């Protein structure tokens, strides 16, 4: 049987507002609105959770937001800052996923069906992603884990902020049956109202309608509604770019000064990265070692060789690349290893591993 997909939907918590609160400590714990000024015709682009308690939400006129919460702090968006953080977050996604489909600056779908980390457990991978985001950006994210995009997206909203919610394959149909149609991703207020006129309040009600009836009532969307009522969503996660590197890094509980110890850590990472590379039928020619010191300064050192990199090559090059850093002289808090310069895989070979995979993978 074909392997069940393992999809993670990651959604940053109050992203714009959280970046502002991180960069401006005086905003922390206060109702914060990112958008126009109170006396302008602007709208709320984002707001902190403290502001949401007053009923404020995105797309609300700023004048109304001010009436709901006069003590709120209004700041203009800094999109360059948000893009910078978004790029950091996407780099973290690529450490774990074979496909990453961004939906906006602050959310994305990840396919981790073939990720070897944590014995392939999508739940543990999601925890690691959340942990890396918090460690490296000082921001929190919520994640939903399931076997398709529809359910992963729904799951990420179930336990906000800083949440993690898992809908396992055996839970999908029952979960959808109890879900109000207004909570369905892809069903807006107008469609929700139309469905309620037809007596459709929940996923269970939606499931009672035939494909013919749904298509007559909702056109091409009828097929989508018919499927999601049964927990079915076959849409793949589609990357917006070709993967250019594959890597793994680790942050230490205590800073390390010993070069042999750092070398051993990097060799462990090398084995993990090579295993992931093999699963995706990729071969690389460039190895990069990353070192972040205790003072948070970081450097990378790379080497390209003439043939596809094997473990013996990495055992030789890791000490050499490490010697080009200040490891051994300055304490190190993080090391990473990545492989790049991929040879394009043969299409038939790349697809083949999917044929031999079983259904009961670790979730």
Q: What letters, b where the CB count within 10 A reaches 16 and e where it falls short, cover 271-306?
A: ebbbebbeebbbbbbbbbbbbbbeeeeeeebebeee
Q: What letters, b where the CB count within 10 A reaches 16 and e where it falls short, cover 50-68?
A: bbeebebebebbbeebbee
Burial class (CB in 10 A: 0-12, 13-18, 19+), 140: middle
**Integer-rounded Cα radius of gyration of the chain:** 23
Say whether 308 sits in a helix, a strand or coil: coil
Q: Please tell me the distance from the alpha carbon of residue 275 to that of residue 157, in angstroms, as a whole number.
A: 33
Q: Is the preceding peptide bond at 119 cis, omega within 30 degrees of 0?
A: no
Q: What element of type H or E holds 206?
A: helix 203-207
Active site residue 275: no
The catalytically annotated residue of 20, 50, 99, 107 is: 107
Instruction: Cite the active site residues.
Output: 107
């Amino acid at each position: 049987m074909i392997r069940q997909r393992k999809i993670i939907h990651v959604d940053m918590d109050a992203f714009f507002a959280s970046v502002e609160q991180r960069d401006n400590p005086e905003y922390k714990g206060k109702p914060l609105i990112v958008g126009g000024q109170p006396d302008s015709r602007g709208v709320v682009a984002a707001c902190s959770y403290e502001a949401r308690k007053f009923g404020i939400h995105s797309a609300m006129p700023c004048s109304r937001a001010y009436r709901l919460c006069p003590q709120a702090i209004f700041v203009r968006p800094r999109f360059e800052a948000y893009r910078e953080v978004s790029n950091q977050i996407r780099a973290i996604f690529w450490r774990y996923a074979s496909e990453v489909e961004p939906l906006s600056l602050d959310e994305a779908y990840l396919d981790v069906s073939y990720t070897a980390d944590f014995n392939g457990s999508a739940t543990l991978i999601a925890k690691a992603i959340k942990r890396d985001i918090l460690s490296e950006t000082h921001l929190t994210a919520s994640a939903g884990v399931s076997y398709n995009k529809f359910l992963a997206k729904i799951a990420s909203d179930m336990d906000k902020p800083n949440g993690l919610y898992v809908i396992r394959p055996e839970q999908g149909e029952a979960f959808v049956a109890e879900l109000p149609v207004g909570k369905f991703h892809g069903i807006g207020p107008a469609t929700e109202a139309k469905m309620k006129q037809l007596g459709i309040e929940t996923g269970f009600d939606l499931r009672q309608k035939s494909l013919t009836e749904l298509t007559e009532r909702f056109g091409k969307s009828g097929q989508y509604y018919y499927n999601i009522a049964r927990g079915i969503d076959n849409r793949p996660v589609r990357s917006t770019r070709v993967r250019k590197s594959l890597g793994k890094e680790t942050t230490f509980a205590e800073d390390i000064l010993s070069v042999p110890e750092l070398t051993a850590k990097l060799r462990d990472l090398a084995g993990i990265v090579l295993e992931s590379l093999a699963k995706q039928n990729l071969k690389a020619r460039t190895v990069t070692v990353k070192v972040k010191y205790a003072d948070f300064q970081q450097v990378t050192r790379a080497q390209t060789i003439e043939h596809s990199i094997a473990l013996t090559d990495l055992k030789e090059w890791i000490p050499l690349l490490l010697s080009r850093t200040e490891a051994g002289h300055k304490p190190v808090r993080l090391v990473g290893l990545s492989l790049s310069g991929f040879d394009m895989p043969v299409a038939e070979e790349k697809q083949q591993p999917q044929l031999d995979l079983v259904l009961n993978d670790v979730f």
